[in-house]
Chains A and B, each alone.
Chain A
Amino acid sequence: MTEFSRIEEKVRAGERLSYEDGLALFLEPDVLRLGSLANWVREQRHGDRTYFNVNMRFEATNVCEASCSFCAFAKLEEGAPNAHTTTHEAAWKELAEFPDPRLSELHMVNGLHPTLPFEWYEELLRGWKRVRPSVHLKCFTGVEIHFFATKFGMTHEQVLSRLKAAGLGSLPCGGAEILHPDVRQRISTDKANGAEYLAAHRAAHRLGIPSNCTMLYGHIETFEHRVDHLLQLRALQDETRGFQCFIPLAFHNENNSLRKLPEPTAIDSLRTLAASRLLLDNFDHIKAYWVSMGIATAQLGLRFGADDLDGTIVHESIYHSAGSRVPMALAREQLVRLIREAGRIPVERDTTYGVIEELPRAAQPEAALKVRERFAQKRALSVVSGA
C-alpha cells in the first residue's frame, strides 16, 4: 500500500491525519488524486452546496506601525504618500449609501495606527450600527486586537468586550501569516507573534465572538511550516470550536520587499486548499478566496475541498496593492454563475453561515451545453491548428 493509499484509508475511516500525513499531502505528485480525496470530504460535509455572501470590504486606515515584508498596503505614518485614514462620517456614509439591499456583511481590516484612540474605533462601529443595523460587522484581525490590548493597556477580553458592545459581530481572518516563529520572525517582527495571535482568537471564542483564520503561503515558508500552522489552528479549534472557516491566502509579490520571490502557482493553491480540507477535520468551511488565488483557480478550488467563494467584496486594497489583477468586485450574479458552472449549488449565506437563499443548480454546465450544440452542428472542437 502506498503512503497516499494509507492516507486515503485513514480519511475514509474518519481518522485524524498526523503531521507526517500532512507533509505527504503537500508532497503528493498526483494533484488530481489529492483533489479527489479532498473533494470527497467536502461532499461528505456539504454535498454540492457552495456558499457566498453579499459583502463589502472597508479599510479605515492603511497607516501602520508594523513593517511586514510581504505587505504593500501599509504606510508608516500619516502624511506619507497614499496614506489615508477615513473619517467617521465618510465611513458611515459609505455603508448607508451602499446600493445593494442584500448587503449582509461589512468586512474591515486596518493598519495598526499609532495615534487613533480606542474610542475612535468604538464610535466607528456604533455609527455603522446606527445607519444599517442589520449588517454584520466582521472587523479587526487578531493582530489588531492584540495591538489594541498592548497599546491601551487592556486584556484581549477587555478589548473584545468593548468592541462587541459597540457592534462587533465577528473577527475576520488576516494576520495569521505563518505562525511558526522561524518564518514569522523574518516576515513580521513587530506585531503579534503566533501565540499572541492565537490568544486573541481564543479570547474572542470564549466571549462568543466567532472568527475565521488564514495562512499566507507561497513565500519563504516550507511545507513543514504550512503543516505546523494548520495543526496549530486545528488544536485551537479542538479547544474552542470558534473558528468558522479557514482561508489560505496566496502571497503576492508586487510593491513589497519580497518582490524577488515568485508567487505561488495555481496548482500550489489547489494543493493547499486540498491539504487544508483534509488536515482541518474540525473546521466546517474552507474558503477559496477569489481575490487571493484568482477567479479561475478559486472556482476550480470548489472541486479541491473548498465550499465557499467569499463574497462580492466591492473594494479591496490589501491584495490589489500587492499586484492582484482580479477585479475589485464580483456581482452576485457572477458568483452564482461561477458556482453553477463548477457543478455546485449556490447558497447565499450570512457571516455565520445562516442560509439567506439557496438557489437552484444549473440544469447543465454551460460547457456541457456547448458540447451538445457542437455535436448537433457537427462542428469540430476548438482548435487552431493540427498536424
Chain B
Amino acid sequence: MGKVFSRALERAGLTDLHSRALSGESLTRAELLRLEAADLLLVAGLADAMRARFRGDEVRFVRASSARELDLIVFKGVASEHGATGAEVLRELALLRLSTKPSTGIAVSVEALGLELAQTALLFGADTLIGDLSNARTLPLLDGAAARQRELAGLVARSGRRVTFAEPEPVLEQRP
C-alpha cells in the first residue's frame, strides 16, 4: 500500500477497515455500510488487499461446470433499471469480496461481464475467471482455444497477476 493510498484512507476515516480486511475475517454489515459512498479506489484497495493477502496473485481460469466444485462465489453482476455502469458493478464486486470469508474465492464470468470488466475485476477482489476456451463467446475475436488461452494469459499478466488453467489442453473448437 502506497503512502498516497494510506493517506487517502486516513482522510476518509477508513484506516481501521484496512486492518480488518487483513484480519482474516469478512467485514460486518456495519463496516460495509461505511463503504457505501466511499471513494471507489479506496474500496478497490481494501478488496485487493484482502485478495492479495489470502488468495495470492494466482488467477484461476475454470469452466462454469468446474466452478460449482470449488470453494467459490460467482459474482453475477448488478441488476439495474437503467443498466449498471462499470463503477457500480465494480463497487458491488469489491463489497462482495470484503463481505465474504477470505478463504472463499471470488469468480467473475468473462462472458457475463465482458473482457473489459472481467480483467478490471481482478483489481477489485476477483481471483477466478470463468469461461470456456472452446467457446467462441468467451473471446469472440480469436479463433481457436490455444489462441484464446494465450490471450487470456497475457490479459491476466497485464493486470500484474499470473493465470493457471484448470484445463490447459486446448479442446476442439465448438462454434455457437
Contact = CB atoms under 8 A, between A and B. Distances in A.
Contacts of A366: 80, 84-85, 88
A296 B78 contact: no
Contacts of A323: 141
B73 interface: yes
B33 A375 contact: yes
B120 A370 contact: no
A303 interface: yes
A338 interface: yes
Main secondary structure, interface of A, reads helix
B163 interface: no
Interface string B20-43: 000000000100110111011100
A365 interface: yes
Contacts of B141: 253-254, 323
B96 A381 contact: yes
A215 to B, nearest CB: 18
B55 interface: no
Interface in B161-176: none
A36 B45 contact: yes
Interface stretch (A74-82, A197-205, A261-269): A261-269
Contact of A385 (B72, B91, B119): B72
Nearest to A33: B2
B37 A296 contact: no
Given A262-B154, A370-B78, A370-B92, A343 B39 contact: yes
Interface string B112-151: 0011110110110000000000000000010000000001
Contact of A31 (B3, B80, B123, B154): B123
Nearest to B114: A296
Contacts of B123: 31-32, 267
Contacts of B151: 262
Contacts of B72: 385-387
A121 B35 CA distance: 54
Contact of B116 (A36, A294, A369): A294
Contacts of A318: none
Nearest to A28: B160
A383 B74 contact: yes
A266 B116 contact: yes
B87 A367 contact: yes
A196 interface: no
Contacts of B79: 382
B78 to A, nearest CB: 6
A371 B88 contact: no
A303 B94 CA distance: 15
A297 B86 contact: yes
A277 to B, nearest CB: 13
A296 B117 contact: yes
Contacts of A267: 119-120, 122-123, 158-159
B16 interface: no
B8 interface: yes
Size category of the B interface is 35 or more
B3 A8 contact: yes
Contacts of A367: 36, 78, 84, 87-88, 91-92
A377 interface: no
Interface in A359-380: 364-372, 375
Given A35-B41, A342-B87, A382-B76, A265 B5 contact: no
A31 to B, nearest CB: 6
Nearest to A378: B29
A176 interface: no
B77 A382 contact: yes
B37 A36 contact: no
A5 interface: yes
B14 interface: no
Given A31-B159, A36-B2, A384 B74 contact: yes
B75 A383 contact: yes
Interface in A260-284: 262, 265-268, 270
A4 interface: yes
Contacts of B75: 382-383
14 contacts: A12-B3, A32-B41, A35-B41, A37-B4, A267-B120, A296-B89, A296-B120, A365-B37, A371-B36, A382-B78, A383-B76, A385-B67, A385-B74, A386-B72
Closest 6 CB pairs of A and B: A296-B86, A368-B36, A29-B160, A367-B88, A387-B71, A367-B91
Given A32-B5, A36-B8, A267-B120, 14 more contacts: A12-B3, A32-B41, A33-B4, A265-B158, A297-B120, A338-B87, A365-B36, A366-B88, A367-B87, A368-B37, A382-B75, A384-B74, A384-B76, A385-B67
